[in-house]
Amino acid sequence: MSKRSRRPGHWFRQIMGIAWCVLCIDGAAFADTSPSTTQVYHALMRLGQTALAKEDPSKATLYFSKAYHLVPTDPSAQLAMAEAIAQQGQARKAETFLRQLLKDPAQRANTDFYLKGLTKLQKRYPFVTSASFAALPSTNIKNTSSATIFDTLLGRFEIDDGGEEISGIGIEIGAWGTYRYPLADGLSFELGAGLNRIWYEESELRYWRGRVTVDVSRLDAHQELRGGLHADRSYYTEVEDDSSDRIAMGLHGSWSRPITNDLRLNVSGLAEYRDYLDKDSLSGPYASFGLGLVKRLSSGATVFMGGSVERSRTTLDYHRYWGGTLRAGYETDLTDTLRGSVSLSGTFRQYDTEFSAVDYARRDEAFRIGISLSDRRIKIMGGTPKLSCSYRFQSSNISLYETRSTDCRIGWSYSF
């Protein structure tokens, strides 16, 4: 083929090459004009601040959330997001958000910012309140013995209502309020009070329960410590004689610390004096100590296990006991919105002296298996209801205390 015949193709390839270069240059120029991550971040922050200035915290939360996910380690977006959440009347949710960041090892450099943010929220919103409602279905609302006969040294006796469990549904309505006063960043004084009303169709089971607490709490990136005083009062409104009315006063405390990024240790303790106003034989000091581990798996599921020991020294010696409990559980997402858990526990109690009318001390063993379900799609005033049910079986060498029941709770709570 001659050189003349090749020239048209040669010029065509040169023209196409020049055109391709022009396109590349234009594309590069276009890429250079696109906004950077930093520019987008600052634009979102400005939009969020403008929305706050216009008293639209809901829209501001949306902008700050996008900025936070764009640059997840910058505390400016995190603190602004907490502020926007609080301005929507959800101060407790805002504090929970900062507490979660405080526990995140990837955010450790921002610890001081989060502690100062929590102090600011407590100063601006010193009062937080919550309300709760629960339905309480049970197959044995009176905790009646499943045995019908009690053999003693004096002979055989029939147990009143033995083996005649009564099913029913109770209702519990509660309210709780807390006043917080920050003493320093991460250190606060708290005064709490709550009141619950428990109602059953069986009038002798209806009662009020009140509680007052005075606490000092300490929080930082490595641990959470709380301790204080409490006073409880239970009052059975429909029982005139030999009611289970009780006053309890004492000390309580808890300590929580991460062992690794996904493993956390929890310790708790309680010591109080329980005064049964109509049943002096049950009055006396009580103490318990608990230890637990919580493990978060990479799948998002949680495994927890632990145990506790307890000691009760009632006025009447054969009601005094040592006890111990072991428990374990697993919680996971069953679907995108449905979360469920299963738990197991076993309790053993050994009493001090021979039970009345027999020549041996009482000994109880109780086993419980429970499940719970909650669906994030279901919202009632911002709270998600939770269904939990458990089957409990207690055996005892004193047949008066052999019981079994299936108890459920359909509960909901809302924080103001």
Average pLDDT, the chain: 90
Residue 34's pLDDT band (boundaries 50, 70, 90)? low
Token pair 């030999």 in the structure block, residue: 242
- Residue 12 is predicted with a pLDDT of 43
Condensed to tens digits (0 to 9), the pLDDT of residues 170-196 reads 999 999 999 999 999 999 999 999 999
- With 70 as the cut, is the pLDDT of residue 8 above it? no
What is the pLDDT confidence band of residue 105, given thresholds at 50, 70 and 90? confident
Specify the pLDDT at position 5.
43
| Percent of the chain clearing pLDDT 90 (strictly above) | 78
Residue 14 pLDDT > 60, yes or no? no
**What pLDDT sits at residue 79?**
94
pLDDT given at position 18: 39
pLDDT higher than threshold 80 for residue 62: yes
238: how many CB neighbours lie within 10 A of its CB? 12
Rounded Cα distance, 309 and 291, in Å: 9
Residue 92 has pLDDT above 60, yes or no: yes
Sketch the domain layout of the chain as residue ranges.
Answer: 37-124, 131-415
Question: 20 pLDDT band (50/70/90 cuts)?
Answer: very low
CATH code linked to domain 37-124: 1.25.40.10
Tens digits of residue pLDDT in 338-361: 999 999 999 999 999 999 999 999
Q: Regarding the domain delimited by 131-415, which CATH topology (the fold level of the hierarchy) does it fall under?
A: Porin (2.40.160)
How far apart are the C-alpha atoms of 234 and 275, rounded to whole Å? 10
Residue 30: pLDDT over 60: no
pLDDT over 70 percentage in the chain: 91
Instruction: Check pLDDT > 50 for residue 406.
Output: yes
Is the pLDDT at 28 greater than 50, yes or no? Answer: no
Residues 6+ apart with CB under 8 A from 33: none
pLDDT digits (tens, 9 = 90+) for 250-298: 999 999 999 998 999 999 999 999 999 999 999 999 999 999 999 999 8
C-alpha dihedral, 39 to 42 to 46 to 48, nearest 10°: 120
Tell me which of 384 and 295 has the higher pLDDT: 295
Q: What pLDDT, in 10s, does the model give residues 296-317?
A: 998 889 999 999 999 999 999 9
